Amino acid sequence: MNRKFYKIFVFFAFHICGTFYAQNVQIDSLKRVVEKIKTDSLKVDQYNKIADLYKEIDPDLTFFYTRKAIAISLKKEYHFGLATAYVNKGNASIILGNYEDALKFFKRAQSEFETALQKETGKKRIKSGLARSYASSGVVYSEQGDHTSSLKNYEKALKIYQEIKEQTGVSKTLNNIGILYKSQQKYPKALQYLKEAHKIQTVLDEQNAPMTLTNIGVIYFETGEYHNAIQYYRKAQKGFEKNENKRGSALLNNYLGDYYKAQKNFILADEYYQKSLVLYEEIQNKFGASLALYNIGLLLQEQKKYKEAISFATKSLDYAQEIGVLDQTYHSEELLSELYQSLKQPEAALVHYKKSIIARDSISNQETSQKFAMAEMNYEYQKKEALLSEKHKREFQLVVFSVLGGILLIVLGWVIYNRMQIKRQLTLKKELAEYEQKALHLQMNPHFVFNCLSSISSFIVQNGTDSALKYLSKFSKLMRLTLEYSKGSLIPIDKEIESLQNYLELEQLRFDNKFEFEINSSENVEFNVGLPPLLIQPFVENAILHGLVPKEGKGKINVDFDVQNEQLICTITDDGIGLSESKLLKENSVTAHRSMALSITKKRLKIMESITSKSAKIEILELNTDSQTGTKAILYLPVQYIS
């Protein structure tokens, strides 16, 4: 049996699924879609899909579409698209037999996939592509006979597929490892991996499952376990009938012919070889038909039906020569030589023997000859191209540079205009937010003035004229400072502290020194840090009115400023009665004032977030421990500087 030919054929039978007609329909659909796509990354992905489909129909078109994908990917630094294009080029190179080029493309793909993992989103599909590149490298090394490197690449692919739980990739890789061990005649390991692959294929209802069963049956056949072999062949037969896979069925019928031939059941062997031949000719696959004809010739030779065998061997040779398969040409010529020798026709036997020797030598020299021929063709082509292009080089350059210059000017103008529009929109948004901030600030001014005037009124009644004059002096100083900075969106931190100092001194006078206060600023707070005016005052007012005034005895307020993690943190702490008890002492007027101030402050913080694109929030905590009661208000503000 022609084992090498079988090995080549199994590779193509497993890796090429579906029909060319279906692929062409899909390609046409993708071509229509790609013309409408505007996003570069999506366009690259479509080009790569088209290139992948073309690898079995026309590898040259695979290279054409991968060049399109690579050009856009390099320009946009789209590493996933670039890596996928290299994988497609590698797979097309495998089909063309250019294994060294294929390995180079797969290594480039692996490098780009690794970069994509660091820089791009969609980690699962990137890892899937990386696994695919390792698996394809394993196929190349296997075809080159480097089983160690092949196994290493398959194991890398398998590990990634298992990590991302891509079961289809896991089953294909397990199948490839099984076939690799089969080619090394390590049958127990081969069976282990193939059976594991088939378990997953059964769960996923994969169309390749019957092909795996066929390979398992072949291993049992080659190890002489004919009973197991025929069981798996029968299972595969049912699977192929269900999936209507004529290509797989044809190959399986060849194996069934081998089985019955080994059992000396020449009638059934011939029946299955003939079935295989019919299927191959039905799908116009001369590659497989040549093998089936050769096997029928061998079967007839074993039955000493030499004249009948010659017609099958001759047709096998015709197909092999027509499609240029040297390996089968050699075996068919050898069979014809033996048949003519058996018929006592030494001259014809010698002719075919010589041709078989020529074919055998051609097999070993084919790769070298192809390389030299390709190099010579490239040289002649490049020489002609150079002569033709030199003549029109300057004219072409002038046209190209003119067109590029025009396009560049248009693009540059569009970019400048677009940037101006964006800048204008951002400026308008910022100005709108600032006006909203100022409007809320202006709402705070009358609220604050109303509270202060109310305090002065009660102070005059309670403390007399002299004390009232002192209070009015401090009040006028506070008003002057407040009005001075009311037009701006920010007040310097030192002026805010001065304003709070005046306000707290006024309240001390008003409530007859019922509380002490302390204002601190850490070393982290720089002199030019600013914050919105009247942002802290409402919290200090609440601490006095709702925390310290109802308290028996003297209280204290602490106001602290600090900068941590690029945030200005303002903390107002009092040792008053606390939030819970304050709620029990409801006074509608005071509650109304407090609700208005806090509501406005929250709106101001939201606008501050929109202007600075940084967090601004309030936390109000109740202090209720054995050693301390009271309230703590913490404002987290973005650090802003006054220019």
pLDDT at 370 over 50: no
| pLDDT tens digits, one per residue of 131-143 | 999 999 998 888 7
pLDDT band at 466 (very low <50, low <70, confident <90, very high): low
CA 454/CA 448 separation, integer angstroms: 10
Residues 6+ apart with CB under 8 A from 449: 479
The mean pLDDT value of the chain amounts to 82
Please tell me which residue, 452 or 475, carries the higher pLDDT value: 475
> What CATH number is given for 18-165 in this structure?
1.25.40.10
Lowest mean pLDDT among 119-123, 163-167, 306-310, 488-492: 488-492
Across 182-193, average pLDDT = 91
pLDDT at 26 over 90: no
pLDDT of residue 404: 86
Helix (H) or strand (E) holding 56: none
pLDDT band at 511 (very low <50, low <70, confident <90, very high): confident
Lowest mean pLDDT among 24-33, 274-283, 426-435, 485-494: 426-435
| pLDDT tens digits, one per residue of 297-307 | 999 999 999 99
Ramachandran bin of 324, using left for φ above 0, alpha for ψ from -120 to 50, beta for the remaining angles: left
Provide the whole-model pTM: 0.51
Across 204-217, average pLDDT = 89
Buried b (16+ CB within 10 A) or exposed e, 317-347: bebbbeeebbbbbbbbbbbbbbbbbeeeeee
| pLDDT tens digits, one per residue of 249-260 | 888 999 999 999
pLDDT of residue 568: 94
Burial class, 29, CB count within 10 angstroms (exposed 0-12 / middle 13-18 / buried 19+): exposed
| pLDDT tens digits, one per residue of 116-129 | 999 888 899 999 99
Residues 6+ apart with CB under 8 A from 172: 135, 197, 208
| pLDDT tens digits, one per residue of 220-240 | 999 999 999 999 999 998 888
CA atoms lying within 13 Å on the CB side of residue 208 = 27
pLDDT band at 217 (very low <50, low <70, confident <90, very high): very high
Please tell me which residue, 630 or 595, carries the higher pLDDT value: 630
Across 437-455, average pLDDT = 57
Q: Judge whether 293 and 315 are in contact, CB under 8 Å.
A: yes
CA 222/CA 191 separation, integer angstroms: 12
Residue 229 structure tokens: 């072999």
pLDDT of residue 378: 39
pLDDT of residue 4: 44
Please tell me which residue, 38 or 429, carries the higher pLDDT value: 38
pLDDT band at 213 (very low <50, low <70, confident <90, very high): very high
Across 532-543, average pLDDT = 86
Q: What residues does CATH 3.30.565.10 cover in the chain?
A: 433-641
| pLDDT tens digits, one per residue of 392-415 | 667 777 778 888 888 988 888 888
For 32-52, the DSSP string reads: HHHTT---HHHHHHHHHHHHH
pLDDT of residue 626: 76
Other C-beta atoms lying within 10 Å of the C-beta of residue 415? 10
pLDDT at 110 over 50: yes
pLDDT of residue 376: 44
pLDDT of residue 15: 43
| pLDDT tens digits, one per residue of 599-642 | 777 887 887 887 788 889 999 999 888 778 899 999 999 999 88
Residues 6+ apart with CB under 8 A from 17: 207, 208, 245
Lowest mean pLDDT among 132-141, 512-521, 589-598: 589-598
The yes/no answer on whether domain 433-641 falls in CATH 3.30.565.10 is: yes
pLDDT of residue 127: 94
